[in-house]
Amino acid sequence: MRRKLVVGNWKMHGSRAANAELLSALLKARPFGGDVAVCVPAVFLNETAATLAGSDLRWGGQDCSAHEQGAYTGEISATMLAEAGCRYVIVGHSERRAYHREDDALVAAKAQAALARGVTPIVCVGETLAQREAGDTEAVVKRQLSVVIHQLAHCASEIVVAYEPVWAIGTGLTATPEQAQAVHHVLRAQLQAATGHGERMKILYGGSVKADNAATLFGQPDIDGGLIGGAALKAADFIAICRAAG
């Protein structure tokens, strides 16, 4: 039985006051039935670590550099994330792919850098609306994942995968549980064929997960939890989603 995982992706939101309120509500709401983590803007990592240290809540970054160190202004290395106590880092989010032109090879290199430092990469894959309408969903997500699997070789079973259809992110349009399950099933078969460990790997769903649709999504056989954007910013909503995974 795979343990569920719910990860809040705060994106570029938060403030010291708002974070303190949100994290203290999360701490009070424990224990949850599954694992829970928050991926926060890098400047908030140290205070998040200080607040959550000693609890069963985990934290992580939203991106990392593929490089170990060097003259890369504005970048954050996996080593730095590890030093800040990060359990996870999101790589290949569709917003990074779209606004920062990250391609599959770069995403794979970032995943490798994270794993090398003991930080679990949450590798995002997902199709655009045009790709779905063209019937290319499976081909797109399989290609995105295959580049990462190839790069990581025998370590590929250490990643978490997040299926995030681009058309469902921040739009209020959620994939139906059946649509999401169908893609998760394909991804798990791909992971199983490539690593032999697909049955124990986590595949999260992301894209307009809310308190009222989380339980049905998480009830699908191949959906192991969620990567939550907007609804991760309000304590009551995020707590309800975490409980739906329990």
Residue 93 annotated to the active site: yes
The CA dihedral of 89, 56, 126, 198, to the nearest 10 degrees, is 100
Q: Note whether 209 binds ligand 13P by CB under 6 A.
A: yes
Q: What is the DSSP letter of 43?
A: G
* Spatial CA neighbour of 2 closest among 228, 184, 170: 184
> What stretches of the chain adopt beta strand conformation (E)?
5-9, 35-39, 58-61, 88-91, 120-125, 160-163, 203-206, 225-228
Residues 213-242 that bind ligand 13P (CB under 6 A): 227-231
Least distance in angstroms from the C-beta of 70 to ligand 13P: 28
Q: Note whether 164 binds ligand 13P by CB under 6 A.
A: yes
- Phi-psi region at 116: left, alpha or beta (left = phi > 0; alpha = psi -120 to 50): alpha
* Spatial CA neighbour of 207 closest among 181, 158, 246, 171: 171
The residue from 93, 102, 127, 184 that is catalytic is: 93
Cβ proximity to ligand 13P, 93 vs 97, nearer residue = 93
The residue from 138, 164, 178, 197 that is catalytic is: 164
Question: What CA–CA distance (Å, rounded) separates 244 from 216?
Answer: 9
- Show the CA angle centred on residue 19, arms to residues 41 and 225, nearest 5°: 70
Name the one range near ligand 13P by CB under 6 A: 22-30, 81-89, 189-197, 201-209: 201-209
One symbol per residue from 69 to 108: x for binding ligand 13P (CB under 6 A), - otherwise; what is it?
------------------------x---------------
3-state helix, strand, coil in the chain (%, to 5): 50, 15, 35
Cβ proximity to ligand 13P, 194 vs 204, nearer residue = 204
Q: Note whether 170 binds ligand 13P by CB under 6 A.
A: yes
Can you read off the two tokens belonging to residue 103? Answer: 């391609």
Residue 197 annotated to the active site: no
Q: Which one of residues 4, 5, 6, 9 is an interface residue with ligand 13P (CB under 6 A)? A: 9
Q: Note whether 208 binds ligand 13P by CB under 6 A.
A: yes
Q: Note whether 60 binds ligand 13P by CB under 6 A.
A: no
Cβ proximity to ligand 13P, 98 vs 139, nearer residue = 98
Do 119 and 87 form a contact (C-beta atoms < 8 A)?
yes
Q: Which residues are catalytic?
A: 93, 164
Chain residues binding ligand 13P by CB under 6 A are 9, 93, 164, 169-170, 206-209, 227-231
